[in-house]
Structure 1
Amino acid sequence: MDSILHATTDNPVPDNHFAGFFEGTRGAKVRYAVFRGKGAKAKGTVILVHGRNESIEKYFETIRDLTSRGLWVATFDWRGQGASDRLIASKPYGHIRRFADYEEDLLRFIDRVVLPDTRLPFFIVAHSTGALVSLSLAPRLANRIERMVLTSPFIAIAGQVMSQRSITVISRLASLFGFGGRTFRREAGLPAFEGNALTSDRARFTRNCAILREHPELAVGHPTANWLNETLKVMARVRNQDHLTRIHIPTLLLCATADPIVPRSVVGSLARNFRAARLIEIDGARHELFQETDRLRGQAMAAIEAFIPGSDIEESELGL
C-alpha cells in the first residue's frame, strides 16, 4: 500500500485507508484510494473529484479534514495524470482522447469501488475540471448522489494570451488535422510562488511543489490540443439551459472571486440559470480553494460542512 500512495515530509498519508487500481474505460489503469472516517458510524462518503494536473497526494490535508468529521472519502487520479495510466507515453502532456472517457471512469469508480466498498449516502466534492466532469454527468447521477459541491468549476477560460474563442478554433483545427496530441506551449519546470494563479498560501504551494519534486512521475505538462478541444465543447454544453434543467441534485457552487483561471462572471451566470444550485463566493481567493490560506480555505470548508448532511452545522446558517 505504501508503494501506491506517496508521503512527503510535511504531507503524510492519512490513516485508515486502502488503495489500489481499477480498470477504467478502454482498459486504462486508474489509481484510487478510500479513506475511512473517524467514529463508529459513518456519516456518508465524499467522492472527491480532482482538477487537471492533480493527484490523490495533493488532497491529503482535505481528506483528513473530511474524515475527522465522520465522512469517508473515495478518490482517484484521472486517466492521463497522477499515478493512473498516461495516454502519451513519451510525453508528459495532459491529454484526453474523448471527454466522455472521464465521465465513464467516474461512473466505473462509483459502481466498482464506491458502491460496494464505502458507506451511504454519497456526495460529490469536485474541483475545477473535476467539477466540469461532475456537472456534465450530473443528469445521470440523480439516483446515486445526494448532493454536489463544485469548487471553481472549469466552465470557461480566462487569463490566457488568446481569447477562449481563438483557443476553441485553433484546438479544433489542430485536432481535425492530426495534431491533437501536441501542445501550444513549451514545458517548463515547477512554477514560482510569486504571481501564481492557484493560491496565496505560500506554505501549501511549497508543499504541493515538494510532492512533484520528490515524485515527478505524478506531474502533468500542458494540455494538448485535443484535451482543449474536448473540454471546450463540454464547457459550452454544460452552460446550456437545457442541460442545467436536467440536473436535480442539490448543488453548492463555490466561486473564488480572485480566480484568474475561471471568470467569476461566468460562474455567476451559471448559478442564475441553475435551479438546483446555490452560489457562495469566497472573496479574495484564487483558483484552488482547498490550497488557500486558512482564512479563505476555512470559509470553503465551513460551507461544505453546512451543505453536506450529517454535519454539526445547520444548513440554515447558509440560507440553503
Structure 2
Amino acid sequence: MDSILHATADNPVPENHVAGFLEGRGGVKIRYAVFRSKERQAKGTVVLLQGRSECIEKYFETINDLTARGLWVATFDWRGQAGSDRLITGSRAGHVARFADYEADLSLFLERIVLPDARLPFFIVAHSTGALVALSQAPLLENRIERMVLAAPFVALAGQSMSQRKIAIIARLASLTGLGNRTFRKGDPSLDFANNVVTSDARRFARNAAIYAEHPELSISWPSARWLNETIATMARVTHQDHLTRIRIPTLLLCPTADILVPRKAIGDLARIFRAARLIEIDGARHELFQEADRFRAQTLAAIEAFIPGSDAEETGLGA
C-alpha cells in the first residue's frame, strides 16, 4: 500500500508514479506526485493544479485520462489542504496567510520537481482556485509553460448568501482585526449529493465522498476569512487589463455554463479582455468539470487534447 497516496475501492492509485514531499515557503510540507505515461513517446507534462479543498486522489481518473494520451502528469496539494501541512493548529479551516505563498509553492514545484524530472514541453491544466494561481503567476511562467488550460477559473464568487462585495468587506475587516483564522460558517460542507452544486454525476460524487470518508485527514472545512480576503484581492488584480496584457502564454478558458459558484458572465468578461486566451463553453456543466458526467467530461478532455500540442515532445523510455 502506498503510504503517501491513498486508494479506495473504486479509485486505485495510478501505476508508474513517484510521490513525495517538497518543502514549500516557510518550511511548509507539500505533498506531490508525478505520473508517467506508458506511451514510449512522451507528448510533454501536464502540471495539474487543483481547486480549493481538493486532493491528488480526487484526480486519479483524470490523471489516467491524460497519461493514456501520452502525457505525464505532475501535481501537488496546495498548502493547508489534503496531504500537505495544515496552517492553523487545531483547525480544519481552509487557510492561507498570503496568496503569494501559493504562487511560491508552484514556482518551487516547477523548479525542484518538474524541470529536473518531467518531460518537455510543460503545460498547465488548472481548476478553479488552481486556475486563479496560474493566472496570477502566468506573467512569470512564459519561459517554462507552453500552454495553459483554465477550467472554471475562480475569478468571481457567487452562489452565496451574501454578495462578493459584502464577503470581501467582512473578510478584510476580520483579517485586519486578528480574526483571519475564523470561518463564516460552522460545521463541515455537506457530502449529500442531492444538495451539491458542483457536479451532476452521482457516481463520481460518491467516489469522491468515499475518499474523504476513508481518509478524513485529506479533508478540510470552510475557507477562513483570511483565505477569502487574499483570494478576492487576487481576483481583482488578475482580471485587470494591465495584468492580462502581461500574459503571453496561449490559454484556453473552459466555462461550465451551469456553474453557480463562478458566474458565466465573469469568465466571459475575462475572455473578452484576455488577448492570449480563447473561450470554450461546456453547455449545462457544473463547476467541477473533471468530476462531471461523461457527456461534459468528454467535451472537456476533447478540448484539452485539441489545445495541447505534442509535435515537439521528446521521445523517451519509461525509465528515462
Q: How high is the TM-score relative to the length of structure 1?
A: 0.96
The total of aligned residue pairs comes to 311
Residue 57 in structure 1 maps to residue 57 in structure 2:
yes
Q: In structure 2, what is the equivalent of residue 197 of structure 1? A: 197
Q: In structure 1, what is the equivalent of residue 275 of structure 2? A: 275
Q: How far 1:120 moved relative to its partner?
A: 0.3
Distance 1:228 1:189, change over 3 A: closer
Equivalent residue runs for 1:1-320 within 5 Å = 2-188=2-188, 190-310=190-310
Q: Is 1:42–1:70's contact at 8 Å kept on the other side of the alignment?
A: yes
Q: Is 1:139–1:248's contact at 8 Å kept on the other side of the alignment?
A: yes
Q: How far 1:190 moved relative to its partner?
A: 4.1
Deviations along 1:205-236, one digit per CA (max 9) or x if unpaired, are 00000000000000010000000000000000
Question: Structure 2 CA distance, aligned partners of 1:147 and 1:110?
Answer: 15
Q: How far 1:39 moved relative to its partner?
A: 1.2
Question: Structure 2 CA distance, aligned partners of 1:87 and 1:232?
Answer: 19
Question: Structure 2 CA distance, aligned partners of 1:212 and 1:129?
Answer: 20
Q: Which amino acid aligns with 1:119?
A: R
Deviations along 1:71-128, one digit per CA (max 9) or x if unpaired, are 0000000000011000012011000000000000000000000000100000000000
Q: Which amino acid aligns with 2:286?
A: R
Q: How far 1:3 moved relative to its partner?
A: 0.3
Let me know the Cα RMSD of the aligned residues. 0.9
Q: How far 1:195 moved relative to its partner?
A: 2.9
Of 188-197 and 198-207, more deviation after overlay is shown by: 188-197
Q: How far 1:38 moved relative to its partner?
A: 1.7
Q: Is 2:156–2:266's contact at 8 Å kept on the other side of the alignment?
A: yes
The 3-state SS of whatever aligns with 1:194 is: helix
Q: Which amino acid aligns with 1:23?
A: E
Instruction: Tell me: higher relative CO, structure 1 or 2? Use CA pairs within 8 A at least 6 residues apart.
Output: 2
Q: Which amino acid aligns with 2:237?
A: R
Q: How far 1:189 moved relative to its partner?
A: 5.7
Question: Structure 1 CA distance, aligned partners of 2:180 and 2:299?
Answer: 39
Question: Structure 2 CA distance, aligned partners of 1:298 and 1:230?
Answer: 34
Q: Which amino acid aligns with 1:303?
A: A
Q: Which amino acid aligns with 2:205?
A: F
Q: Which amino acid aligns with 1:69?
A: R
Q: Which amino acid aligns with 2:98?
A: R
Question: Structure 1 CA distance, aligned partners of 2:24 and 2:187?
Answer: 28
Unaligned runs of 5+ in 2: 312-320
Q: Which runs of 4+ in 1 moved over 3 A?
A: none
Q: How far 1:191 moved relative to its partner?
A: 2.0
Question: Structure 2 CA distance, aligned partners of 1:77 and 1:189?
Answer: 19
Question: Structure 1 CA distance, aligned partners of 2:236 and 2:118?
Answer: 34
Deviations along 1:133-154, one digit per CA (max 9) or x if unpaired, are 0000000000000000000000
Q: How far 1:273 moved relative to its partner?
A: 0.2
Q: Which amino acid aligns with 2:305?
A: E
Unaligned runs of 5+ in 1: 312-320
Question: Structure 2 CA distance, aligned partners of 1:191 and 1:18?
Answer: 30
Q: Is 1:262–1:287's contact at 8 Å kept on the other side of the alignment?
A: yes
Q: In structure 1, what is the equivalent of residue 315 of structure 2? A: none
Question: Structure 1 CA distance, aligned partners of 2:188 and 2:249?
Answer: 40
Question: Structure 2 CA distance, aligned partners of 1:187 and 1:222?
Answer: 8
The 3-state SS of whatever aligns with 2:86 is: coil
Q: Is 2:129–2:153's contact at 8 Å kept on the other side of the alignment?
A: yes
Q: In structure 2, what is the equivalent of residue 314 of structure 1? A: none
The 3-state SS of whatever aligns with 2:193 is: coil
Question: Structure 1 CA distance, aligned partners of 2:15 and 2:150?
Answer: 26
Q: Is 2:259–2:285's contact at 8 Å kept on the other side of the alignment?
A: yes
Q: Is 1:190–1:209's contact at 8 Å kept on the other side of the alignment?
A: no
The 3-state SS of whatever aligns with 1:39 is: coil
Q: Is 2:189–2:221's contact at 8 Å kept on the other side of the alignment?
A: no
Q: How far 1:197 moved relative to its partner?
A: 1.1
Question: Structure 2 CA distance, aligned partners of 1:13 and 1:89?
Answer: 29
Instruction: Give % identity.
Output: 70
